[in-house]
Amino acid sequence: MSEPLLEFRDVRSGYGEAVVLDGVSFALPLHGSLAVLGRNGVGKTTLLLTAMGFVTLARGSVLFNGRDISRLPPHKRALMGLGWVPQEREIFPSLTVEENLTATRRPGRWDLETVYTLFPRLRERCGNMGNQLSGGEQQMLTVARTLMTNPALLLLDEPLEGLAPIIVEELSAAIRYMAGDGGTAIVLVEQHAEVALRLTEQAVVIERGIIAHRAQSSDLLGNRDILDRYLGLHLQERR
Ligand SMILES: Nc1ncnc2c1ncn2[C@@H]1O[C@H](COP(=O)(O)OP(=O)(O)OP(=O)(O)O)[C@@H](O)[C@H]1O
């Protein structure tokens, strides 16, 4: 079997004395996709921050492409191919959409043309300033900017939060493409569990800092007991 792209081995991490994740292990294959689910405050964002190196590891290790990156700072991890899409929409408000995109460009399959094809709304707004965009367009730009760095792995922190249904649909389609034909591995933290499970192959549910459940996303989607137990979700019956 080929080497995992991202691997957590018995990770303990948190903020100062406060331990948030404890004993977390998982392996994400090359081109894989993982949904990270759980109630508010269980440590989902902390998992992404630990992968990027924004929080310190108290125990265990983080490997990327088989290399131990536990001690590397975030910018070195980014150069190795980890792409971070933070929950806060991080764009340059006084640059145009196109300038925002070209500012982060690194060589690879994702360039202005392929990114505009993925996000037609951004092509339409290419001359608009970042601060002239709607919330949904800003979120698309945040994802697109990170994609322009041509990461091997995209870490997405609640990219669909607070967006109108039509934008959720468009952004979901883009994420599905990136993770599928686009060949970019993803770790997706989402409150919209149903959407996240439809976009990914694997899923983990975090509870009190540990992985309480792991499954194929398609299996978890059909497992109402587990979804209800860990997430308090009452997914609507499909007709
Ligand atoms: N900078 C910080 N300093 C101290 N504690 C923090 C910090 N950031 C988060 N925490 C705490 O760590 C725990 C996990 O937070 P985290 O943001 O990882 O949870 P989450 O599952 O992503 O939650 P949400 O769904 O609400 O975003 C929480 O108890 C939170 O209060």
Decide if 118 is inside a domain: yes
Say how far apart CA 73 and CA 70 lie, in whole Å.
9
Q: What is the 3-state secondary structure (H, E, C) of 51-89?
A: HHCCCCEEEEEEEECCEECCCCCHHHHHHHCEEEECCCC
What tens-digit pLDDT sequence spans the chain (239 residues)? 578 999 999 999 999 889 999 999 999 999 999 999 999 999 999 999 999 999 989 999 999 999 999 999 999 999 999 999 998 878 889 999 999 999 989 999 999 999 999 999 999 999 999 989 999 999 999 999 999 999 999 999 999 998 999 999 999 999 999 998 878 999 999 988 999 999 999 999 999 999 999 999 999 999 888 888 888 865 544 43
Helices (H), 162-216: 165-179, 193-199
CATH of the domain at 74: 3.40.50.300
Q: What's the number of domains the chain is made of?
A: 1
Cα distances (Å, whole numbers) of residue 148 to 30, 71, 109, 154, 208: 19, 26, 9, 11, 35
Decide if 239 is inside a domain: no
Decide if 33 is inside a domain: yes
Closest C-alpha to ligand 1, atom 28:
41
Q: Which residues line ligand 1 (CB under 6 A)?
A: 15, 18, 20, 38, 40-46
Q: Which domain holds residue 85?
A: 6-231
Decide if 238 is inside a domain: no
From 21, 36, 44, the mutation candidate for ligand 1 (largest count of ligand atoms within 8 A of CB) is 44
Decide if 217 is inside a domain: yes
Decide if 215 is inside a domain: yes
Decide if 61 is inside a domain: yes
Task: Report pTM.
Answer: 0.93
Say how far apart CA 65 and CA 151 lie, in whole Å.
13
Decide if 51 is inside a domain: yes
Q: Could you report the predicted ipTM of this complex, rounded to two decimals?
A: 0.95
